[in-house]
Amino acid sequence: MEVLQKILSFLVVLGVLVVFHELGHYLVARWCNVKVLRFSVGFGSVVWSRRYGRDGTEFAVSAVPLGGYVKMADERDPDIAPQDRARAFNRASVWQRIAIVSAGPIANLLLAVVLYAGTFMAGVPGQKPILAEPAAGTAAAAAAVRAGDEVTAVDGTAIGSLADLRWRLLRASGHEEVALAVTAADGGSATRVLSLRGLDGSDWEGPFMQKLGLAVDLGAPLVDEVVPGKPAERAGLRRGDRILAVDERAARSPSDVAAATNAKPGAPIVFRIERDGGAFDVPLTTEATQANGRVVGIAGLRLKVDPALAERLGTTVRYGPVDAFAQGARKTWELSVFTLRMLGRILVGEASLKNISGPITLADFAGQSAQAGALVFVGYLALISISLGVLNLLPIPLLDGGQLLYYFAEVLRGRPLSDRAFEVGQRIGMAVLAALMALALFNDFTRLF
């Protein structure tokens, strides 16, 4: 049932994104008086179709649901009807062709703006960015971060939640330091200058806030579920137990427990437990397992924050319609730039190729976001829409960006490129996309197994 939900969620995501992408191409083609022969969701053989409009455009659903296309009249097609030649795509001016091709990715980016604006108007639930006392020797300790500091801005940009703080720090990767404006526990204002020099490229792909010493005091976590057959069950842990410490280090959040457990694969650790008003130690040996390409330890626990404390730390980020669209546009722009930066870091070896995901991982995340609620699912849809828009603008033949590269070359040369240049470009693009898909599927199966 869970697998079916993930597949259905992924198909919904893919369907919405493909329809909007192709709708961009379709509407601008019509605006430029180019005849559209077919609007297809999916590739391969047509399984359903209907004709609409004065041009009799065929709207179709095809067998392979991993994309879509808009087929326009083109004089290079031997089957083109004589009456359609005047409205062929290749007869459109170069600027009209640029507009038609770029309209698909732009439609995806505009969709993301609208989706994010909708979530901001509805109100995005989050957690206040109130920090705990940092561990000695961390960058946060060196910056004089204190327990109870609530971060209000990062480098002058206001934030309203812990997720905002994490995102602003992630955007600052590669910088030497950032300035955190905070409201201290006593109500005073201060600026903490946080050094980022201690983190390298791979650190940003993991729990970088922990490495910086930016911990959030969520209180000692509660055991929500004990996984049958795992070390925690064999050691006698129960649902409702409060984990006070792991190996004598205080646990201030579920992530503290996870980090301490993951760091000791197949090794003994000691949980300090509170149960029925008393406290006692529970020793256990973690189970070693593979996760994201490394060996980690697990105890077999699912943890949660004390509901009373979670309610006090909760917040909702909400904007009016005008501000919501402004915030949606800002977030879409920032995520687009971040996507390009991440691709650049992968190309130069500063980020792992494991960051490239394929349809299996996307389907898994789609299912998880659907289970988390409508707002999370809409946010995921917006994020994938941005990725689709940005990736399609890359100058790789077979993608929209590759076509745009040809047309801008035509603008500079004053005449179209030769058929031979198009043929070579198509072969290169096919090889690049095949390699990327193979890598993405390899990463998917690595995560899966």
372 and 430 part of one domain: yes
Q: Domain total for the chain?
A: 3
Tokens read off for 162: 């812990």
pLDDT of residue 353: 73
How many angstroms separate the Cα of 394 from the Cα of each of 51, 69, 92, 176, 389? 33, 18, 23, 29, 9
pLDDT of residue 11: 84
324 and 449 part of one domain: yes
Residue 98 lies in a domain: yes
> H or E stretch including 44?
strand 36-52
Among 283, 306, 329, identify where a domain stops.
Answer: 306
Residue 356 lies in a domain: yes
301, β-bridge pairs: 226
Residue 383 lies in a domain: yes
Output the tens digit of pLDDT for each of the chain's 449 residues: 567 777 888 888 888 999 999 999 999 999 999 999 999 998 888 899 999 888 889 999 998 888 899 999 988 888 888 888 889 998 999 999 999 999 999 999 999 999 999 999 999 888 888 888 888 889 999 999 998 889 999 999 888 888 889 889 888 887 889 999 999 888 889 999 999 888 876 777 777 888 888 887 788 899 999 999 999 999 999 999 999 999 988 888 888 898 899 989 999 999 999 999 899 999 999 998 877 667 889 999 999 988 887 778 888 888 999 999 999 999 999 999 988 888 888 787 777 777 777 777 777 778 878 787 888 899 999 999 999 999 999 988 888 999 999 999 989 988 888 878 888 888 888 888 888 888 877 877 776 66
Q: Give backbone dihedrals phi and psi of 315, rounded to 5 degrees, phi first.
A: -150, 165
pTM beyond cutoff 0.75: yes
Residue 183 lies in a domain: yes
Inter-axis angle of helices 94-122 and 321-347, nearest 10 = 120
398 and 288 part of one domain: no
Residue 170 lies in a domain: yes
CA dist., res. 286 & res. 246, Å (int): 12
Range of the domain at 117: 93-123+319-449
- Burial string for 104-134 (b: 16+ CB within 10 Å, else e) reads bbbbbbbbbbbbbbbbbbeebebbebbbbbb
- Burial string for 218-254 (b: 16+ CB within 10 Å, else e) reads bbbbbbeebeeebbbbebebeeebbbbbbeeeebbbb
pLDDT of residue 449: 63
Q: Nearest 5 degrees, angle CA 390-CA 391-CA 395?
A: 105
CA dist., res. 318 & res. 92, Å (int): 45
pLDDT of residue 54: 85
253 and 204 part of one domain: no
149 and 269 part of one domain: no
How many angstroms separate the Cα of 111 from the Cα of each of 321, 388, 389? 16, 11, 10
Half-sphere exposure for 17 (CA within 13 Å, toward CB): 27
pLDDT of residue 182: 92
The residue whose two tokens read 């995520």 is: 335
The residues annotated with a catalytic role in the active site are 22
290 and 350 part of one domain: no
Can you say how many angstroms the Cα of residue 212 is from the centroid of all Cα atoms in its chain? 22
Tokens read off for 329: 């546009």
Give the CATH number of the domain where residue 233 resides.
Answer: 2.30.42.10
359 CB-near residues (< 8 Å, 6+ apart): 10, 66, 440, 441, 444
Q: DSSP string spanning 171-188? A: HTTTSSEEEEEEE-TTS-
230 and 204 part of one domain: no
304, β-bridge pairs: 222
Among 159, 192, 212, identify where a domain stops.
Answer: 212
CA dist., res. 440 & res. 434, Å (int): 10
pLDDT of residue 435: 85
CA dist., res. 68 & res. 21, Å (int): 9
208 and 231 part of one domain: no
405 and 347 part of one domain: yes
**Would strands 150-154 and 57-72 be described as parallel, antiparallel, or unpaired?**
unpaired
pLDDT of residue 293: 61
